[in-house]
Amino acid sequence: MLRISLIALLAAGALSSAAHADCSAVSGISAGDTVTCDAVSVLDGPDAVETRGIEDGSDDITINVLTGAVLDTTGNGDRTINLKDSANSTVTNDGTILSGDEGIQGGDALKVINRGLVEAVEKAIDANGDDVEVENAAGARITSSTNEGIETGDGAKIVNFGIVEAFDDAIQMGEDAVIENYGIIRNTQLDADIVGDVEAQDAIDIDSGTVRNFAGAEITSRTNAAIDFDPGAGPSLIENAGLIAGTLAVTVDEADDAAQEIVNSGILQGSSGVAVDLGMGDDMVALKASSIVMGDILLGDDADMLIFEGTGFAGLSGADLYSGGDDLDMVIFADFAAMDIFDVVVSGLNVELSLLSGGDSLEVTLTQFEQFKFGTGSTQTVLGFEDLVELAAIPLPAAGLLLLGGLGLLGAARSRRIRA
């Protein structure tokens, strides 16, 4: 018997020319329909539990799960909200969605707004299409116990204020993805889980796009990388002011030759000893003075750039290695002048460089960089690797020698002075 809850529909903003149905009475959903699940939507028994789930393939469907509603298919192992390849459909969840299979499934341009709980054995949100949007509110949770938390195609956007977690990748996305994280995105595996055919998984597995991790936010994996780039067609950007931590904080597939850029003012932590490994491509890593880096940074093949912005780098360790890799690579000290060089030690291709400006210092170990740029503004000073070899042979503080213009080195540096 069809029962329409007028109050629930008004609360969901669902009154329109489209058909409406109560969650407990749905046997099929037509294009443009709105289905509302409230706390008294029941199919079998007195508890406020919908145990059948919803299934259809029509487009432009709206599903509203209201506060207090519980949709539960854990008893029969079915998907809970199954819109198949339905395009341009929206699921808004203020209640609880529990699934013995997949929690929410839909097609192109699926939009999910979660302010409650989506908990699944398999994928919590499985979008079989592109241009998907997922918003996970503060206090909300999207979780999978055996598979992925959220999977999308290309052109998707995820904004997370709550928790997205999974035993497999917490988030897996295709090309041109956008992730804005204010909360927690994590892989929940433990080392003890990696047995037999079980593989270590990432927090975010992405082909290309932009990841913004804001202050106080976390992207973590205990068993694999926090962010892993698969081979992608376009460039990617990570802006991090929070915590990105895994066996590596950021890594790329060996076959990925696209460019990645990382702008960091937060924490990059790699428990393997490597924080960032970017492989092929013209990559760039910019470290702001507030950066904390725990592990090496490997820029890999092709023309790469490493930038230090600021002077007080208390969160960097001279024991970590920063490698430019093959081809012509440059390191930029944006707020240090060449005369701030205090000490240089060269061993093979490694350069241990100490800089001092006022009371702020930076000690960093670099390898396979060919150019070293100091300063910003109207003029910068560029030194080559051979200049640092010459400096390393001087048995006095390099800064003092530069100030005196001694041994012809300052003249050599001036000859490489360029205008911005």
Which of helix, strand or coil describes residue 282? coil
Q: Does residue 318 lie within any of the structural domains?
A: no
Q: Does residue 313 lie within any of the structural domains?
A: no
Q: Is the pLDDT of residue 407 over 60?
A: no
256 lies in the same domain as 115: no
184 lies in the same domain as 256: yes
| pLDDT value for 412 | 44
CA angle 366, 367, 369 (to 5 degrees): 95
385 lies in the same domain as 267: no
What is the DSSP-derived secondary structure letter of residue 43? S
8 Å CB contact between 236 and 212: no
| pLDDT value for 170 | 98
8 Å CB contact between 141 and 119: yes
User: What is d(CA 261, CA 153) in angstroms, rounded to the nearest whole number?
Assistant: 22
Contacts of 393 (CB under 8 A, 6+ apart): none
Least confident of 23-27, 59-63, 113-117, 345-349: 23-27
- pLDDT tens-digit map of 242-256: 999 999 999 999 888
Which of 397, 384, 379, 412 is closest to 339 using CA atoms? 397
265 lies in the same domain as 289: yes
Domain edge (last residue) among 91, 120, 149: 120
Q: What is the mean pLDDT of the chain?
A: 88
The pair of three-digit structure tokens given for residue 135, joined into one six-digit string: 């918003």
- Which has more confidence, 113 or 11? 113
106 lies in the same domain as 142: no
- Which has more confidence, 391 or 192? 192
163 lies in the same domain as 232: yes
Q: What percent of the chain has pLDDT over 90?
A: 73
How much is the average pLDDT of 346-367?
Answer: 93
243 lies in the same domain as 219: yes
Torsion, CA 238, CA 179, CA 228, CA 274, rounded to 10: 40
Task: Quote the pTM value.
Answer: 0.90
Structural domain boundaries, residue 67: 1-120
Q: Does residue 316 lie within any of the structural domains?
A: no
152 lies in the same domain as 113: no
343 lies in the same domain as 399: yes
101 lies in the same domain as 228: no
3-state DSSP helix/strand/coil percent for the chain, to nearest 5? 10, 40, 50
- Which has more confidence, 20 or 360? 360
Domain edge (last residue) among 88, 120, 152: 120
Domain edge (last residue) among 250, 269, 302: 302
Q: Does residue 288 lie within any of the structural domains?
A: yes
| pLDDT value for 396 | 54
Contacts of 100 (CB under 8 A, 6+ apart): 73, 74, 75, 76, 77, 78, 120, 121
Q: Does residue 319 lie within any of the structural domains?
A: no
8 Å CB contact between 152 and 133: no
Give the model's confidence band at 397: pLDDT under 50 very low, under 70 low, under 90 confident, else very high. Answer: low
| pLDDT value for 173 | 97
- Beta carbons within 10 angstroms of residue 45's beta carbon: 8
Q: What percent of the chain has pLDDT over 70?
A: 88
289 lies in the same domain as 140: yes
57 lies in the same domain as 145: no
- Beta carbons within 10 angstroms of residue 387's beta carbon: 19
User: Residue 307 CA to chain centroid, in angstroms?
Assistant: 20
How far the first Cα of the chain sits from its last, in Å, is: 75
Q: Does residue 315 lie within any of the structural domains?
A: no
